[in-house]
């Protein structure tokens, strides 16, 4: 059963990240700074990705900011705004990075780790529940981005599963 759960989670992460990827690719430069609620389009993407990245780590204290995606280290995560504006190619690369981490980290999960503590102190969930929480978080923000694009007359696709870049 654990292999089925892992395969299903990977498939759903692939689809969710594919939909986020489609939103980023479809966003014209003139909409890159358009507010989605309070934050610019690109900041919503960045927030979604760093949360995905952190939650993929078995324990939050083991996560280390990548200089490529977090040039100011933890300040890029802990502050309201990142230290600089990220461009589309950088966030597309971050999506690919999160996709690779998803495949690697989920392959390492076991029945015991999935049933165990999430590894995130503020989220009293099992690790399996954390993955579902992470997927809902990706799709929540992807929905916001997709809705904003549709208001601008730009359509984005629904992706079933199994995305490969």
Is 17 in contact with 164 (CB distance < 8 Å)? Answer: no
What's the pLDDT band for 164 if we cut at 50, 70, 90? low
What's the pLDDT band for 41 if we cut at 50, 70, 90? very high
Q: Considering the chain, what percentage of its residues have pLDDT values greater than 90? A: 93
* 149 pLDDT higher than 90: yes
* 133 pLDDT higher than 60: yes
What's the pLDDT band for 87 if we cut at 50, 70, 90? very high
* 161 pLDDT higher than 80: no
What's the rounded mean pLDDT across residues 57-81?
94
* 148 pLDDT higher than 80: yes
| Residue-range domains of the chain with CATH | 2-151 (1.20.120.450)
What's the rounded mean pLDDT across residues 99-127?
95
What's the rounded mean pLDDT across residues 37-62?
96
Task: Report the C-alpha gap between 129 and 136 in whole angstroms.
Answer: 10
Residue 83 tokens read as 């230290």
Rg (CA), the chain: 16
Backbone phi and psi for residue 11, each to the nearest 5 degrees, phi listed first: -60, -45
Which residues are registered as beta bridge partners of 40? 35
Task: Report the C-alpha gap between 57 and 79 in whole angstroms.
Answer: 21
End-to-end CA distance of the chain: 27
**Predicted local confidence at residue 163, as pLDDT:** 54
What's the mean pLDDT when you consider all of the chain? Answer: 94
Task: Report the C-alpha gap between 153 and 85 in whole angstroms.
Answer: 25
What's the pLDDT band for 165 if we cut at 50, 70, 90? low
**Predicted local confidence at residue 160, as pLDDT:** 76
Q: Considering the chain, what percentage of its residues have pLDDT values greater than 70? A: 98
> Closest Cα partner for 97 from 112, 86, 109, 83?
86
Which residues are registered as beta bridge partners of 39? 36
What's the rounded mean pLDDT across residues 125-154?
97
The three-class DSSP label of residue 25 is helix
C-alpha of 41 from chain center: 14
């Amino acid at each position: 059963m654990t292999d089925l759960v892992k395969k299903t989670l990977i498939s759903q992460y692939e689809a969710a990240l594919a939909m986020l990827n489609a939103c980023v690719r479809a966003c014209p430069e003139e909409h890159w700074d358009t507010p989605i609620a309070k934050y610019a389009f690109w900041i919503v993407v960045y927030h979604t990705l760093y949360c995905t990245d952190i939650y993929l780590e078995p324990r939050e204290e083991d996560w280390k900011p990548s200089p490529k995606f977090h040039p100011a280290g933890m300040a890029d995560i802990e502050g309201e705004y990142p230290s600089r504006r990220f461009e589309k190619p950088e966030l597309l690369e971050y999506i690919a990075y999160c996709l690779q981490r998803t495949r690697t980290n989920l392959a390492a999960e076991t029945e015991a780790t999935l049933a165990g503590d999430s590894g995130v102190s503020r989220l009293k969930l099992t690790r399996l529940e954390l993955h579902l929480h992470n997927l809902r978080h990706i799709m929540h923000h992807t929905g916001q981005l997709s809705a904003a694009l549709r208001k601008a007359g730009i359509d984005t696709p629904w992706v079933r599963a199994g995305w490969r870049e």
